[in-house]
Amino acid sequence: MKFLLTFIISLLSLSAIAQPLQTAKPEELGIDSRRLHYADEAILQAIQNKDIPGAVLAVVYKDKMVYLKAYGNKQVYPDTIPMDVNTVFDMASVSKSMSTAISAMILIERGQLRLLDKVDRFIPGYKGNIRILNLLTHTSGLPPYAPVDSLQKKYGSPNPDGLIEYIANCRRDFEPGTNFQYSCLNFITLQRIIETVAGKNLRDFAKENIFDVLGMNHTDYNPTGETLKRVAPTEKQKDGSVLRGVVHDPLARVMNGGISGNAGVFSDANDLAILSVALLHNGEYNGHRILSPQGVKTMRTVPAQLKAFGRTLGWDNSSDYASNAGDLLSPNTFCHTGYTGTSIVIDPDNDLAIILLTNRVHPVDKGETVRLRSLVANVVAASIKCLP
């Protein structure tokens, strides 16, 4: 009887967490839905130009989903499958923000990590005066990427220890804090630090402390089950197959076995909308908290000593990589993009989030989304008739 009662309470608890975002018609919240159709036109034009096979657009405003729409196809090879709003995408580098950066901030809030800690405190022998702050803002001086084929030949794969050994000793392009250079190696390093401090791998930590807490039911590394069935494929391989549910990024796939600080998360528009609301609401959604208000504020703020580079702690604000925020949103907007064609933009001043998901690398890596992201952000921003 006691077991049954515990089971029922657990089910009720899960039900309370896993509540989808409330919906509202655009006009109910002061958004001109006729203007939003310009976003439809821009996305459909990109599909016609073969820049993308399809897309999902989600607009979150004042805690509600006011626009959720699918366009085109999620698969065009070897056969055609239409896109739908529940499609799960390889989030690529958006993983850095939605998983690795938030995980690091959780450990900072728990007193287990600080921004000024040096990396060699957690990874003995790690070269340079690089600090956690430098990893999160891409001001470490680490090179942008690593030679996957050479690493695989030297260490075998997957081999996270071999990858970390390489990063710990590879060249540094400038002194930490003196310049900005976007690097996947920053967040792979950060992954190792999180795992060392937390005593578990990044996937388990992020699920337990972010995704499961918020009820993000179709967000995970190395997806399985129903989530895997919903995944949009990415690039066609030499053997004629396409990657599906296997991360596209080579370092994450080959060296880190799909669980990587720089890439590897799969998610859908509904889950990302929930995460966006949590970040817009000072770290809380539906009564469940992942970060404190101060933690969220710190994470979305460009550090004063690194103001010139425009990067917040794991997100972008005003660097050259922030064009997905468009031209009309507030100066406090923070955002991130993924190589596969994903984008998330969060504007706390306007209580707004714009999520544009594509698999532009399907079936071949020739698609283009940089301009499209800006166009869509501008349309959404201009559709708001009454700003807060």
pTM of the complete model: 0.94
Do 233 and 34 form a contact (C-beta atoms < 8 A)?
A: no
Secondary structure class of 343 (helix, strand, coil)? strand
For residue 34, tell me if it sits in a domain.
yes
State both tokens at 174.
């400038």
Which CATH number covers residue 213? Answer: 3.40.710.10
Secondary structure class of 264 (helix, strand, coil)? coil
Do 132 and 116 form a contact (C-beta atoms < 8 A)?
A: yes
For residue 1, tell me if it sits in a domain.
no
For residue 267, tell me if it sits in a domain.
yes
Query: Which residue is it, tokens 């923000």?
Result: 97
DSSP 22: P
Q: What is the pLDDT of residues 80-119, one digit of tens each?
A: 999 999 999 999 999 999 999 999 999 999 999 999 999 9
Strands 89-90 and 284-285: unpaired
Q: Hey, which residues does 231 pair with through a beta bridge?
A: 88
For residue 153, tell me if it sits in a domain.
no
Give the contacts of 304 (CB within 8 A, at least 6 positions apart).
none
For residue 50, tell me if it sits in a domain.
yes
Distance CA 274, CA 284 (A): 10
Domain of residue 326: give its range: 22-94+106-112+200-383
Q: pLDDT value at position 20?
A: 82
Amino acid at 253: R
Q: pLDDT value at position 387?
A: 54
Cα distances from 125 to residues 78, 85, 121, 158, 165, in angstroms, run 48, 47, 9, 22, 9
For residue 226, tell me if it sits in a domain.
yes
State the total domains in the chain: 1
For residue 85, tell me if it sits in a domain.
yes
For residue 143, tell me if it sits in a domain.
no
pLDDT grade for 339, boundaries at 50, 70 and 90: very high
Confidence check: pLDDT of 4 > 90 = no
Give the contacts of 260 (CB within 8 A, at least 6 positions apart).
95, 187, 188, 191, 202, 221, 247, 249, 251, 252
Distance CA 337, CA 92 (A): 8
Q: What is the pLDDT of residues 33-78, one digit of tens each?
A: 999 999 999 999 999 999 999 999 999 999 999 999 999 999 999 9
Q: What is the pLDDT of residues 204-243, one digit of tens each?
A: 999 999 999 999 999 999 999 999 999 999 999 999 999 9
